[in-house]
Amino acid sequence: MHVGGEDKKGVAPPPVLAGTDQVGFNDILVDRGGIVRRGLLFQGYQGVTHYAFALRLALLYLQADGVYPQSDPTNPEAIRLGPTTIRRFRDNDGAYIDADARGYQFLLDFQEAQDAFPVFTLSDVLAGKVARSAIHDKIVIIGTIAESVHDEFFTPFSLGLDADQQMPGAVLHASIASQLLRSALDDTSSMLVLSEALEWDWVLFWSALGAVIGLWLLSPWRFVLVVGSGVAILVLGSYLAFVYGWWIPVVPPVITWILSAVIITASVSYREAKQRALMQQLFERHSSPQVVNAIWEQRHDFIRNGRPRSERMVLTVLFTDLVGFTTISEKMEPQELVDWLDQYMDAMAPHVINHHGVILRFTGDGILAVFGAPLARHTEEAIGQDAVHAVQCALGMQRELIKRNRIWMEQQEPLVGMRVGIATGPAVAGSLGSSQRLEYTIHGDTVNTASRLESFEKQTFIPDFCHDPCRILVGESTRAYLDHQFLIQHVGEVSLKGKEQKVSVHRVLGYTDDHEV
């Protein structure tokens, strides 16, 4: 017989067999996608509860052992067959959502492969080719496997949607009956599923794991590799669990795993892109690649609330200013003057960058640079190295200016000199401005000292444009870090503007092995 459903009419049993234990309905529950995952034990039809065909076969076989369907003592609504309670399917079990759970349904495990059941053709039986032992004490199902009958079904173990991956209906009923026999005789439990709460925990676990993984999946190849591996682990693990009797949801955790990884990776990438843009805005144009890379590697300590955090540090500050620029500006047209300044700055800026300094700003015809920022130095050796780099930078600028003056002399253009002030000491470094326009800057007495050294008695400095166009003055705090590679002349204890106490001032003349000095 066939019970049918809302969209299909049922087929009543032959009248002569109606009401006997020789009738069982052969309804097969087919899910979306054409896959069979559930079986039926009982189903109502025209006000009467009927047995499934596979259950009838199993009970007939189990009569000799005195096994009959009974209510579970702890759950009267559940059916017990022998020592095993056949768990009733619920509408949200496994990957189902609001499934039709009418009748007494249970999940199939398909532990026997399709070829586990011997198949004999009718011609073999009629020809006497089937041994008695092949069917003795066995359940025998007579059916057809002809393709024209269209009685074939896909199972969870079908490897594709090809016709050869389908299981004939007769074999499917044999598989269901075999599962019931295993439950009754071997105490094999039916397919197990997680509770709804555990399913949520399972999905949330993969969502959280995807979020954690997404924090470091920044490169495309790593993202594809790790996310793909996670999907493979989920699918393979769920498949193995299914083989061993557990149906664990696959699609929801896969979706949440991928979405979490994508969202967090995109969020981290976006945040890092903003941080990189900030680094480029503040430092890339006027810092060495080594400095920029060091800042980027330590960006989590360097950036706070989307901007460089303020920090007290010991650094070396360098100020420069041109001598004779006023005369030049009076003789040149504005556009010509700007072009000349561009050439001058283009020539001087690389010396700061090549000596691991950072140009904070161009002050008209001058430069403000810092050595030892934006990443603080924590050892005397590193602080001393910054002071050495600043002096080396100033001497490099001096040599560059000598070359420029000789070229300008040949071109009959104005010549210039340069004053440099260098001071080492504590200062506060940080950013000023709005999110649209941010500037990295430094504040403190060290900055003022460097500025005062640069402008100290500036009227008395008369440059030798082609041989000694620069005056490089350093404070005692800087000179203390300089080694014997520099030729240094003590100027004296002087009073600088804005300073109450006198400052020991020194002039750097060049390198000790420089025969031109």
Interacting residues of 86 by C-beta distance below 8 A, sequence separation 6+: 41, 78, 79, 80, 106, 180, 183, 190
The helix or strand, by DSSP H or E, that contains position 71, with its residue range, turns out to be: strand 69-71
Mean pLDDT of 195-203: 88
Predicted confidence (pLDDT) at residue 439 exceeds the cutoff of 90: no
- Left, alpha or beta for 316 (phi > 0: left; psi -120 to 50: alpha)? beta
Beta bridge partners of 152: 168
Predicted confidence (pLDDT) at residue 402 exceeds the cutoff of 80: yes
Both structure tokens of 52: 């499934």
145 near 61, Cβ under 8 Å? no
Interacting residues of 479 by C-beta distance below 8 A, sequence separation 6+: 488, 504, 506
DSSP assignments along 10-42, one per residue: -BPPPTTTTTSTT--B---EE-TTSBEEEEEEE
Predicted confidence (pLDDT) at residue 282 exceeds the cutoff of 60: no
Cβ neighbour number for residue 436 with a 10 Å cutoff: 5
Q: What is the pLDDT of residue 239?
A: 86
Predicted confidence (pLDDT) at residue 286 exceeds the cutoff of 60: no
- Top-confidence residue, 108 or 4: 108
Distances (CA, A) of 33 to 2, 36, 155, 362: 22, 9, 10, 70
Cβ neighbour number for residue 408 with a 10 Å cutoff: 19
Q: What is the pLDDT of residue 292?
A: 62
284: confidence class by pLDDT, cuts 50, 70, 90: low
What share of the chain has pLDDT > 70, as a percent?
Answer: 89
- Left, alpha or beta for 128 (phi > 0: left; psi -120 to 50: alpha)? left
Predicted confidence (pLDDT) at residue 278 exceeds the cutoff of 70: no
Rounded to whole angstroms, the Cα distance separating 488 from 511 reads: 9
Which amino acid does the sequence have at 266?
A
Instruction: Give ∠ CA 241-246-249 in degrees, rounded to 5.
Output: 80
Predicted confidence (pLDDT) at residue 285 exceeds the cutoff of 60: no
Q: What is the pLDDT of residue 291?
A: 62
Beta bridge partners of 473: 421, 507
- Top-confidence residue, 208 or 147: 208
Q: What is the pLDDT of residue 517?
A: 47
Q: What is the pLDDT of residue 297?
A: 61
Rounded to whole angstroms, the Cα distance separating 499 from 487 reads: 27
Alpha helix segments (H runs only) across 323-458: 325-331, 334-354, 380-410, 445-455
Cβ neighbour number for residue 289 with a 10 Å cutoff: 9
- Out of 147-151, 376-380, 414-418, least confident range: 147-151
Location of structure tokens 């090549």: 354
Mean pLDDT of 449-465: 90
Question: How many Cα atoms occupy the beta-carbon half-sphere of 161 within 13 Å?
Answer: 4
Residue 2 backbone phi and psi in degrees, to 5: -135, 120
Q: What is the pLDDT of residue 299?
A: 63
Top-level class of domain 304-511: alpha beta
Interacting residues of 93 by C-beta distance below 8 A, sequence separation 6+: 99, 107, 193, 247
Mean pLDDT of 105-110: 90
**Beta-strand relationship, 438-443 and 470-475:** unpaired
Rounded to whole angstroms, the Cα distance separating 376 from 301 reads: 11
**Three-state SS at 487:** strand
Q: What is the pLDDT of residue 163?
A: 61
Mean pLDDT of 97-108: 90
Angle between helices 251-282 and 289-297 (to 10 degrees): 140
pLDDT digit string, tens, across residues 82-95: 999 998 998 888 87
367 near 393, Cβ under 8 Å? no
> Which residues in 141-298 belong to E strands, given as ranges?
152-153, 167-168, 192-193, 246-247
**Three-state SS at 148:** helix
Closest CA to 387 of 447, 511, 496, 474: 474
Q: What is the pLDDT of residue 373?
A: 80
Location of structure tokens 């309804």: 27
Both structure tokens of 94: 């496994």
Cβ neighbour number for residue 409 with a 10 Å cutoff: 13
Q: What is the pLDDT of residue 394?
A: 97
Closest CA to 492 of 473, 510, 478: 473
